[in-house]
Amino acid sequence: MRKVLRKSYNQQKHHQEITGYEIFVRCLAAEGVELIFGYPGASTIGIYDILYDPNAAKTKKLETTDGTTSNNRRNIAMTPTKAHDNHQGKLMTGAEVFVRCLVEEGVDTLFGYPGGVVIGIYDVLHDLTHIKHILTRHEQGATHAAEGYSKATGKPGVVLVTSGPGATNAVTGIADAYMDSIPLVVFTGQVVTKLIGNDAFQEVDIVGITRPITKHNYLVKDVNDLAKTIKAAFYIATTGRPGPVLVDLPKDVLAAKTVFEYPKTISLRSYNPIVEGNSKQIKKAADMINEAKRPLLYVGGGVISSNASTEVRALADKLRAPITTTLHGLGAYPEQSKLSLGMLGMHGTWYSNMAVDQCDVLIAIGARFDDRVTGKVEAFAKNAKKIHIDIDPTAISKNVPADVPIVGDVKRVVKQLLELVMPLDTKEWLKAIDGWKAEHPLRYKQDGSLRAQHVIDKLGEITNGEAIVVSDVGQSQMWTAQFFKWKHPRTQITSGGLGTMGFSLPAAMGAAFGRSDLPVVCISGDGGFQMNIQEMATIAQNNLPLKIFIINNGFLGMVRQWQELFWKKRYSHTQITSPDFVKLAESYNIRGLRVTSPADVETTIKTALKYNEGPILVEFVVVQEENVWPMIPAGQTINEIMDSPEPLEQTHATHKTMIHAKG
Ligand SMILES: Cc1ncc(C[n+]2csc(CCOP(=O)(O)OP(=O)(O)O)c2C)c(N)n1
Ligand SMILES: [Mg+2]
């Protein structure tokens, strides 16, 4: 292991003003810490800069503490759910009640991992054909798979794991679902009730741990409460602003007996999501829109989760208003259309960010003004009146004050709004936008080397948007968002709020379990892929026809980009090695291909899309030091936007953009 802290470090720079990063490192040095096991990210990048040792990478025996250096189909036929199997009124164990409740809820797929305290449930599942249980290789994989399944199908994702480490392994997926408003119901096993609080074997206070990252959570103490708690869990997860709900199941509750009664309806005193928008507010919004000269729709993931794409499309088309989406809104409006501006925000298109700056009425629908979208909040859409429609009252005016707030289900509100608004004369406005599109298209350098943007651009072109694409986190995620031609809702799946590396492989797997009508493509960086690599075995065991694309740039590319731009190119712990991905695939009995030249991109993508005998992995070995453009640095404004430094004529501008530019 490498000594990352020099003993002398603490003696330097006495009585000087130093940064928090330096204080952190000095404190560790003072404590005699010599080794840190870690992984960099945007919030710790300054610490990594201090740890940077340019000579270290050249030493052969270097072992970085991030553990990265070693020198280098299916079509599962689901048995139709028998919703009411006439088990009501029967005496059964808690484990049987649990499974019956899932059947009543119409659950057809369950992602999980067994263990001591849930063994009774697994025993009941053994004979059950109503529910397909997918045994993942890690509980994090199970939660991300449930997220992917839910995003692709619109149904809640269901997870079952054991107590202690099983439960804590599920935490990242739960937090991810919370940040991205994905309805999950996560069941965790718990030690017997009389041992709770005793530090029993595999005991952990998962209800305490997950309180801030669940919409709600329960510890069931009495088997007689089990069915109604499960009913409430599904109700809370799927209504209002969706989110994860956790139900903790002690072993003795699962073993105890009760008479099974599944409630038909439920009402919870303190939980009543507002779905109808206030009609006066809707009228006010319509009046504001009808006066607009430069309207802009800003659409987020709420539109997808409330299945409101049809209404939102109708609104944009009726108004002839341009429309930009967040990362999670991609697919809400077809990017093939002239009115589409693609994604906005830090790595959004140049022209969508400019349109935000110049619009006079901003209509935010199912979006939350997140900091990756707004940059400096005070300057965001500073010339515009803002209408904000969202089901979650706490999301409204949280970051940016709304002039007309409307709380309600966006599908219903937009339907009402549609009847009150008139077509607008937006010719001049669209002409200005077309000019920006022509001057600042999304583009990438064409110099004979292989680039990720080219791969994704081609994938979009070949599939014509008819695919479910699940991306990981980092540069590959942003290029996927930018260059794929999004067409349908529920085809873009990614970890937006939490930004969880390792999300894509299990989430794509979950999506493929839920949908077989479209090809499912996983696009991952070389770093993120190695974070949940174990799910290759689940994919292989189920022979899922997944297309796994690895964008291998030999770097934790997004952090490297920040180091290049803002930390003087000091690549502290961001260069990574990988296994031979093709051999790795083959070891799982998965077909593996490698592409190193742009000339082979198209044929290899076609081969992967046609391959239906099972999973296929393609490694794209791309240029190492490439950046995602445009970029508005964190917390800054449109005035600081950085666009691709490549002159237009030496680049390939994307097809979707050029269609827009030509009008
Ligand atoms: C679990 C986790 N750890 C750390 C980060 C911080 N982070 C964001 S992007 C990134 C680099 C991703 O590298 P890679 O998967 O190779 O994708 P690339 O950016 O190279 O396309 C890192 C480390 C994160 N988002 N998630
Ligand atoms: Mg990478």
A 10 A CB-CB count for 435 gives 13
Gyration radius (Cα) of the chain, Å:
26
329-335-336 Cα angle (round to 5): 160
Q: Is 251 labeled as catalytic in the residue annotation?
A: yes
Q: Is 139 labeled as catalytic in the residue annotation?
A: yes
Ligand 2 center–CA 625 separation, angstroms: 10
**521 — phi, psi (to 5°)?**
-115, 125
340 lines ligand 1 (CB under 6 A): no
Contact assessment for residue 465 and residue 488, using Cβ atoms and an 8 Å cutoff: yes
Instruction: Choose the residue to mutate in 176, 558, 621 for probing ligand 1, maximizing ligand atoms within 8 Å of C-beta.
Output: 558
Contact assessment for residue 365 and residue 391, using Cβ atoms and an 8 Å cutoff: no
Q: Which helix (H) or strand (E) holds 342?
A: strand 340-343
Percentage of the chain exceeding pLDDT 70: 92
Contact assessment for residue 414 and residue 315, using Cβ atoms and an 8 Å cutoff: yes
Contact assessment for residue 220 and residue 253, using Cβ atoms and an 8 Å cutoff: yes
Give the nearest ligand 1 atom to 500 CA: 26
Using pLDDT thresholds of 50, 70 and 90, give the confidence band for residue 15: low
Q: How far is 154 from 167, CA to CA, in rounded Å?
A: 25
41 lines ligand 1 (CB under 6 A): yes
Contact assessment for residue 266 and residue 228, using Cβ atoms and an 8 Å cutoff: yes
Contact assessment for residue 451 and residue 622, using Cβ atoms and an 8 Å cutoff: yes
pLDDT reported for residue 81: 38
Ligand 1 center–CA 152 separation, angstroms: 23
Instruction: Choose the residue to mutate in 501, 524, 563 for probing ligand 1, maximizing ligand atoms within 8 Å of C-beta.
Output: 501
558 lines ligand 1 (CB under 6 A): yes
296 lines ligand 1 (CB under 6 A): no
Q: How far is 70 from 63, CA to CA, in rounded Å?
A: 7
Strand bridging mode 257-259 / 91-93: antiparallel
Q: How far is 630 from 254, CA to CA, in rounded Å?
A: 54
pLDDT tens column, 109-155:
999 999 999 999 999 999 888 899 999 999 999 999 999 999 999 99
Give the nearest ligand 1 atom to 472 CA: 15
Mean pLDDT along residues 530-544: 98
Ligand 2 center–CA 331 separation, angstroms: 25
Nearest to 559 by CA among 1, 38, 63: 38
What's the longest Cα–Cα distance across the chain? 77
Q: How far is 569 from 615, CA to CA, in rounded Å?
A: 38
Give the nearest ligand 1 atom to 498 CA: 25
pLDDT tens column, 434-448:
999 999 999 999 999
Q: Alpha helices of 37-108 — where are they, by DSSP H?
A: 45-50, 94-104
Catalytic residue of the set 105, 139, 335, 626: 139
A 10 A CB-CB count for 265 gives 6
Using pLDDT thresholds of 50, 70 and 90, give the confidence band for residue 656: low
Q: How far is 150 from 174, CA to CA, in rounded Å?
A: 13
Task: Give residues with Cβ within 8 angstroms of 151, minimum separation 6.
Answer: 182, 490, 493, 507, 511
Nearest CA to ligand 1 atom 6: 41
Tokens of 150: 């839910």
Q: Is 12 labeled as catalytic in the residue annotation?
A: no
40 lines ligand 1 (CB under 6 A): yes
Mean pLDDT along residues 8-18: 64
Ligand 2 center–CA 634 separation, angstroms: 21
Phi/psi region, residue 396 (left: phi>0; alpha: psi -120 to 50; beta: rest), is beta
Nearest to 167 by CA among 182, 183, 150, 187: 187
A 10 A CB-CB count for 256 gives 17
Using pLDDT thresholds of 50, 70 and 90, give the confidence band for residue 56: low
Contact assessment for residue 306 and residue 409, using Cβ atoms and an 8 Å cutoff: yes
Contact assessment for residue 134 and residue 112, using Cβ atoms and an 8 Å cutoff: yes
Mean pLDDT along residues 470-490: 98
pLDDT tens column, 611-641:
999 999 999 999 999 999 999 999 999 999 9
Nearest to 327 by CA among 95, 482, 150, 133: 482
DSSP state of 599: G
Contact assessment for residue 545 and residue 73, using Cβ atoms and an 8 Å cutoff: yes
Place of tokens 């501008």: 653
Ligand 1 center–CA 64 separation, angstroms: 16
644 lines ligand 1 (CB under 6 A): no
Place of tokens 């992917």: 148
Is residue 487 scored above 90 in pLDDT?
A: yes
Through-space distance between the first and last CA atoms of the chain, rounded to whole angstroms: 59
Give the nearest ligand 1 atom to 574 CA: 23
* Lowest pLDDT segment from 71-75, 159-163, 315-319: 71-75
Q: How far is 217 from 408, CA to CA, in rounded Å?
A: 24
pLDDT tens column, 578-606:
999 999 999 999 999 999 999 999 999 99
Give the nearest ligand 1 atom to 501 CA: 26
Place of tokens 């048995």: 79
pLDDT reported for residue 13: 53
Q: How far is 281 from 518, CA to CA, in rounded Å?
A: 40
Please state, in angstroms and as integers, the Cα–Cα distance from residue 617 to each residue in 87, 475, 548, 581, following that order.
45, 19, 5, 8
Using pLDDT thresholds of 50, 70 and 90, give the confidence band for residue 8: low
Closest ligand (CA of 48): 1
Instruction: Choose the residue to mutate in 556, 563, 631 for probing ligand 1, maximizing ligand atoms within 8 Å of C-beta.
Output: 556
* pLDDT winner (highest mean) among 41-55, 75-89, 424-438: 424-438
**Total residue length of the chain:** 663
pLDDT reported for residue 65: 40
Tokens of 356: 């935000």
Is residue 53 scored above 50 in pLDDT?
A: yes
pLDDT reported for residue 646: 85
Average pLDDT of the chain to the nearest whole number: 92
Closest ligand (CA of 455): 1
Please state, in angstroms and as integers, the Cα–Cα distance from residue 112 to each residue in 166, 318, 536, following that order.
9, 46, 16
Please state, in angstroms and as integers, the Cα–Cα distance from residue 607 to each residue in 273, 462, 542, 603, following that order.
47, 11, 21, 6
pLDDT tens column, 269-301:
999 999 999 999 999 999 999 999 999 999 999
Mean pLDDT along residues 328-337: 97
551 lines ligand 1 (CB under 6 A): yes
Tell me, yes or no, if the pTM score tops 0.85: yes
